[in-house]
Structure 1
Amino acid sequence: MTRPLSRASLVLDIVGAFVLFALAVPVSLVFYAPNNLSTIAEEPVSITVVVVAGLLQFGAVAIGRLAPGVALGVVWVGALVQMAAGLGPLPINMAILGVLYATAAWGATRTFWAGLASVLVGGVVASAYMVFANGLLAGVSALSTAVNIVLFSIIGVLVLGAPWLGGFGWRMVLRWRTTRAAQALAEVTAAEEQERVRIARDMHDVVAHSLAVIVAQSDGARYAAASSPEIAIETLGTVSQTARAALSDVRMLLSQLRHRQGDGPQPTIADLEQLFEHVRQAGLEPRITVDPVPPGEPPAAVQLAVYRVLQEALTNAIRHGSGGIVDVHLAWMPDRVELEVRNPTGASAASGSVGHGLVGMRERAQLIGGSLTAAREGQEFVVRGTLPIGNGSSVSGGVA
């Protein structure tokens, strides 16, 4: 029956309707008796009817935005009171136009269509009333009367339909605004979700790699503690350094998640040597081949993707490989970079546990328009990826 409306808007509608009522009723009385103003005082019933009809119709205007359906019913009552007294069209009937606008602009679905029906029915009823009750076409033949009723009905529908169409246009504007707001909210939500996924992926890359190195180094320190204490102390220093670096990265990621700050410093291909050193400290020997070398400075998104893919592939080699040598090959072409990581599979590979984080690696490649495969080939586990170098990868850099 009612719709949400602020108190200020409601007060504005009531005050505006009262001002219009105060102006329209005197004008309607003068319009009712234009030639002899004294006749107004001689017909108190008609005066009362004008005042009552005006109260009803402008009262409907006052609640037009709050309750368009109720306003439509009230304005119909006011019009019927006016017609029952035999009064013709008066300036107070301008309130009807305002209510029809309100039904189209703010009414619910039923009220919206009820307003359109009122336009059609009201136009026909008003024309027939003026012809038969007010004797507008007295002395005219029946055929002419019928034709004129049709013409007056068309005019009445057009007059009543104009504000309804205006309200319909405003309804479309409000709906467009709502749609735009919902679209903007959906875009913000999608961006936030994408950011959470990116942070979760980075968190996995950082924590998984660091823990794999820490576990390997800790096991080595435990075995070396009895026979070579100096090696154990050096290994524990590596564990501490790796843990501190991982803690710093995790704090940065959590800060982004908590405060929505921009991206912090991201790894580049210049940091690969440090990554390979961590792998060596974990007990693997990476054999790196770069042919051809980068022709220039690759886009930041490509550098980050290469680092994260190699980080995950080498982490899997530490956790699930059989040790020894892991082959890393990078080929920097003018339009793409091709990478390959080969490592011997261990016992865990036979049980099917190789490949943790493969989804993250594939996502890294796909985000910049590339592709990646990871599968066991004989006694080796091979990761191959192709990452494009161009405008597409540069654009994707903000979400990589």
Structure 2
Amino acid sequence: MFPLRPLKRYQLITDLGVAGVFGLLALFVELPGADPGAFWGVAGQTVGAILVVLSFTAALALRRLQPGSALAVAWVGALLQMGFGRQPSPTDLAIFAVLYATAAYGSKRVFWAGFASGIAGAVIVPFYLVGRGLSAPLTINDWFAVGALLLASGFALMLAWVSGALVRTAMRAAANSRAQRAAEAETIAEQQRVRIARDMHDVVAHSLAVVIAQADGARYAAAADPAAASDALATISSTARSALTDVRLLLTQLRHSQGEGPQPTLGDLEVLFERMRAAGVVLEVRVDPVAPGEPPAAIQLAVYRIMQEALTNALRHGVDRRVRVQLGWFPDRVELSIRNARATASPAATTPTGGHGIIGMRERAHLVGGRLAAGPEYGEFVVRATLPIGGRT
């Protein structure tokens, strides 16, 4: 009837532990209170006390796991308490916790059931308390007492329910905010993938065009075993042309409407550094070891774009214009780091979910099989990336 809410193990253990301690304390309070002159007698009063305590303890244990069931069990406890003619006691505090839980964690039906229960309780409590033991009609003083108790009980019960409703609103607002940030991050990632598709189209298209040209030249220039060499090179050429067509078709679908343009290489890094220095960045660049030959075009492009975005973020968000760049070319990988001294703690500069540039840099690193990390470190904001050369890390 009432679905179980997903709770973490520590939450479930906490709720059961609190309910267990509450039940023991409630028995300690309730059992000595039996009235020998009561209608049910001492034995009946003892049984009633035990049943009331068990009901409220179960309601307290279920309040977050099944708020609807907790509310039903709490009503059973309240009816048992009135049926056995028992006085209000500290055990009734469980009712406030249950009303809070129905408003904070319950479904829409349980939410309004908690509201109705608070109103009903506010009406029942004063008549029960004033009417106990009265055989004559209520006097004016009795009605005044009923009104005062109605206001007091209504305020207490509805305060618990309203507190839960406020917590429910806050949790929903936080969930909506997280969903919105996730949607924005996905949109940004998609936009960045479109930009990456444009870059990769030109890189792959250029590489395959070179392969085709070399294969065609080798086919015409073959001297030894012309027939076999010609057939093999023709196959290479045909396969490369087919792959080029397929890649262009796939990437065109990703690109939508991106303009054509030349892609940056390592030779353009110095231009980028000079541009950043002209903008006011105090740039310290160290390349050790240097690139052994010509790295793959995709790696050059990724290094350039990551460097470009990291330096742009340092220019925009740094409170100190000093930036240290470390670039190391190893036989199987390239490692780079950009440190911005005393970077600002703005969310756009320090958090992956808020920083559009960080999402783009991570996409670029992942595309070539590498990894990238960005975040505050000892008073600086550091971007680190490791990109494989000739394989994936």
TM-score w.r.t. the length of structure 2 is: 0.52
Q: Deviations over 1:251-305 (max 9, x none)?
A: xxxxxxxxxxxxxxx7169569xxxxxxxxxxxxxxxxxxxxx9x94469xxxxx
Aligned to 2:187: 190
Distance of 1:205 and 1:110 partners within structure 2: 58
Q: Map 1:1-400; keep pairs closer than 5 Å.
A: 1=2, 2-30=4-32, 43-135=42-134, 140-141=139-140, 144-212=141-209, 215=212, 267=264, 297-298=274-275
The answer on whether the counterparts of 2:34 and 2:42 sit within 8 Å (CA) in structure 1 is no
Q: How far off is 1:203 after superposition?
A: 1.2
Q: How far off is 1:153 after superposition?
A: 1.6
Aligned to 1:323: none
Q: Deviations over 1:336-383 (max 9, x none)?
A: xxxxxxxxxxxxxxxxxxxxxxxxxxxxxxxxxxxxxxxxxxxxxxxx
The answer on whether the counterparts of 2:96 and 2:160 sit within 8 Å (CA) in structure 1 is yes
Distance of 1:128 and 1:17 partners within structure 2: 29
The answer on whether the counterparts of 1:131 and 1:137 sit within 8 Å (CA) in structure 2 is no
The answer on whether the counterparts of 2:189 and 2:360 sit within 8 Å (CA) in structure 1 is no
**Aligned pair in 2 of structure 1 residues 56, 186: CA closer, same or farther (>3 Å)?**
same
Distance of 1:136 and 1:171 partners within structure 2: 45
Distance of 2:136 and 2:22 partners within structure 1: 32
**Aligned pair in 2 of structure 1 residues 22, 136: CA closer, same or farther (>3 Å)?**
farther
Q: Which amino acid aligns with 2:110?
A: T
- Which stretch has the larger CA shift, 113-122 or 13-22? 13-22
The answer on whether the counterparts of 2:15 and 2:61 sit within 8 Å (CA) in structure 1 is yes
- Which stretch has the larger CA shift, 96-105 or 217-226? 217-226
Q: Alignment RMSD, CA only?
A: 4.4
Distance of 2:212 and 2:62 partners within structure 1: 73
Q: How high is the sequence identity, in percent, across the aligned residues?
A: 42
Distance of 2:33 and 2:191 partners within structure 1: 68
Q: How far off is 1:39 after superposition?
A: 6.7
Distance of 2:173 and 2:72 partners within structure 1: 29
* SS across alignment from 1:86: coil
Q: Which amino acid aligns with 1:10?
A: L
Q: Which amino acid aligns with 1:160?
A: L
**Aligned pair in 2 of structure 1 residues 100, 210: CA closer, same or farther (>3 Å)?**
same
**Aligned pair in 2 of structure 1 residues 110, 134: CA closer, same or farther (>3 Å)?**
farther
**Aligned pair in 2 of structure 1 residues 217, 136: CA closer, same or farther (>3 Å)?**
farther
**Which is greater in Rg?**
1
Q: Which amino acid aligns with 1:57?
A: F
Q: How far off is 1:18 after superposition?
A: 2.1
The answer on whether the counterparts of 1:61 and 1:98 sit within 8 Å (CA) in structure 2 is yes
* SS across alignment from 2:64: coil
**Aligned pair in 2 of structure 1 residues 184, 134: CA closer, same or farther (>3 Å)?**
farther
The answer on whether the counterparts of 2:55 and 2:77 sit within 8 Å (CA) in structure 1 is yes
Distance of 1:70 and 1:134 partners within structure 2: 33
Q: Deviations over 1:20-42 (max 9, x none)?
A: 12212332345566xxxx77996
Q: Which amino acid aligns with 1:91?
A: P
**Aligned pair in 2 of structure 1 residues 100, 397: CA closer, same or farther (>3 Å)?**
closer
Distance of 1:72 and 1:208 partners within structure 2: 67
Q: How far off is 1:89 after superposition?
A: 1.6
**Aligned pair in 2 of structure 1 residues 55, 224: CA closer, same or farther (>3 Å)?**
closer
**Aligned pair in 2 of structure 1 residues 137, 117: CA closer, same or farther (>3 Å)?**
farther
Q: Structure 2 regions of 5+ residues with no counterpart?
A: 224-232, 234-239, 241-246, 248-262, 278-356, 365-393
Q: Deviations over 1:85-106 (max 9, x none)?
A: 2223222211111111111121
**Aligned pair in 2 of structure 1 residues 200, 98: CA closer, same or farther (>3 Å)?**
same
Q: Deviations over 1:78-137 (max 9, x none)?
A: 111111222232222111111111111211111111111111111111112222235499
State the aligned residue count: 250
The answer on whether the counterparts of 1:88 and 1:134 sit within 8 Å (CA) in structure 2 is no
